[in-house]
Amino acid sequence: MSKLTDVINTFETGDLVFTRFPPKGTQPIHVTLFLSARDAVKPSYVHAGATHVEIADASTYAVDKDSGGYLHARLTAADMRSRVTRIARAFAGTAKLTPYGSYPSKEDFTRLNIEVKSPNASRFGVMVKTPNFDAIPFDFPALHRLLKWTWRAECNATFSENRGITCAAFASACQQVARMQAFLKDNYMGGGLADTLADAVKTLNGMVQTKASLRENLEQLGKDEQTGMTIYKGQAERANSNRKFTQDGMSKFKEMASDVKRKDFPEEIISRIPSTAKDAKAPDKPLTPIENQWLVIQTKLLKVPQYSAKLLEDILGSEWMFDAKYVNSMLLADRLQNSQSWATVEYKQY
């Protein structure tokens, strides 16, 4: 088997390279998006680095040479690789950088003289414990977050200003954003896409719980004067981080959905929406709640004509139908190795 350095010049921009592979013990693997010399000054990669999302020299893959091998993954669709790369590079090049999702770390707790068992306060700490994809379904909070990320990509804004992001979450988010952005650019009928997305996100923000309400019943562990943030026990857990509809918000959403007419969608979508007629046969594969919500959001908020509507599973593909914020690199690597859309090769040595 070749070494990574024997073949790295054949890698293409947009490929994913996992380091520290396969995982050993409790040490997680790391995922990066490769940039070839043709698209950068020299071979490099975009990733959520130790302190922020950055572009790093490919020679630094050697840092992990004693911690396992490497997994190279290539998406067969070249046009999507290019779109994902543009998004990742834009997020890495914004003026205000996205920190890594490890705050608050053990060092922060020591600095603040806080002793607590299983604080579950950092994204990294919770993310590495995600057992499988069933634990992180693509639900409304995941869609809400994806639209926010897509808006930020469209206006070259910072990916995440406060709590940061982990490597697998960043790589997955860029894949999701690229697919959502491509769909919207081809199908929405509004003015500027950035403005349309901003308005949609603002409207949805008014229908869901506030971040403050999510934490009002959590135990406060301390106030970090260095960062200005209050630390709560369990703040990074999915149940304490994903913002769901308020009762009033759900009422407003249902009102908005009331004039979305079943008959105006493409036939492949109509066939999966239960009819109100009592004698109608139930569809073999009815739409999931998130797909029904998405039909409303794309047509009422994102200005996609009903005849152009698509389901999330057709936009994102089944591979990316998960809550990207909570995926870990071990789950992601396994999924790509078992995908027909990705070609993967493992290298044992640097």
Residues 6+ apart with CB under 8 A from 20: 27, 28, 29, 30, 64, 67, 68
Which residues, at least 6 apart from 84, have a Cβ–Cβ distance to it below 8 Å?
A: 14, 33, 75, 174, 175, 178
pLDDT confidence tier of residue 275, bands split at 50, 70 and 90: confident
pLDDT tens per residue across span 202-221: 999 999 999 889 999 999 99
Q: How confident is the model at residue 142 (pLDDT cuts 50, 70, 90)?
A: very high
What is the predicted pLDDT for the residue at 200? 96
Give the H or E element holding residue 178: helix 167-187
- Measuring CA to CA, which residue among 270, 327, 315, 276 is closest to residue 126? 327
| CA dist., res. 268 & res. 233, Å (int) | 46
**How large is the angle between the packed helices 140-154 and 193-205, nearest 10 degrees?**
150
Q: Rounded to an integer, what distance in angstroms lies between the CA atom of residue 191 and that of residue 183?
A: 15
What pLDDT does 53 receive?
95
Q: 159 and 53 in contact (C-beta within 8 Å)? A: yes
**What stretch of H or E contains 45?**
strand 44-48
Amino acid identity for residue 306 in this structure: Q
The C-alpha atoms of residue 220 and residue 222 are separated, in whole angstroms, by: 6
Number of domains in the chain: 1
Separation between Cα atoms, residue 105 and residue 89, nearest integer Å: 27
For the chain, how far is it from start to end, CA to CA, in angstroms?
Answer: 11
Between 164 and 333, name the one with better pLDDT. 333
User: What pLDDT was estimated at residue 283?
Assistant: 80
Mean pLDDT to the nearest integer, 309-317: 97
Total-model pTM:
0.95
User: Where residue 278 falls among pLDDT bands split at 50, 70, 90?
Assistant: low
Q: How confident is the model at residue 279 (pLDDT cuts 50, 70, 90)?
A: low
Beta-carbon contacts of residue 321 (< 8 Å; ≥ 6 apart): 137, 138, 312, 313
- Structural domain of 227: 4-275+283-347
Given this model, what pLDDT does residue 1 score?
Answer: 66
Is the separation of the CB atoms in 31 and 329 below 8 Å?
Answer: yes
Higher pLDDT, 133 or 188: 133
| Mean pLDDT, range 6-35, rounded to an integer | 93
The mean pLDDT value for 306-320 works out to 96
* H or E segment to which residue 343 belongs: strand 342-347
* Whether the bond into 104 is cis, omega within 30 of 0: yes
Question: By the 8 A CB rule, do 47 and 170 touch?
Answer: yes
What type of residue is 137? Answer: P
Work out the average pLDDT over 1-8. Answer: 91
Decide if pLDDT at 281 tops 90: no
- pLDDT of 336 over the 90 cut: yes
Per-residue model confidence as pLDDT tens digits over 232-272: 999 999 999 999 999 999 999 999 999 899 899 999 999 99
**Using one digit for the tens of pLDDT, what is the confidence trace for 156-168?**
888 987 778 999 9
What pLDDT digit, counting tens, does each position of 36-87 carry? 988 888 999 999 999 999 999 999 999 999 999 999 999 999 999 999 999 9
The more confident residue out of 191 and 209 is 209
**DSSP result, 259-280:** T--GGGS-HHHHTTSPPSSTTP
At residue 95, the pLDDT reads: 84
SS3 of residue 171 by DSSP? helix
Mean per-residue pLDDT over the chain, rounded: 93
How does residue 308 score in pLDDT terms, banded at 50, 70 and 90? very high
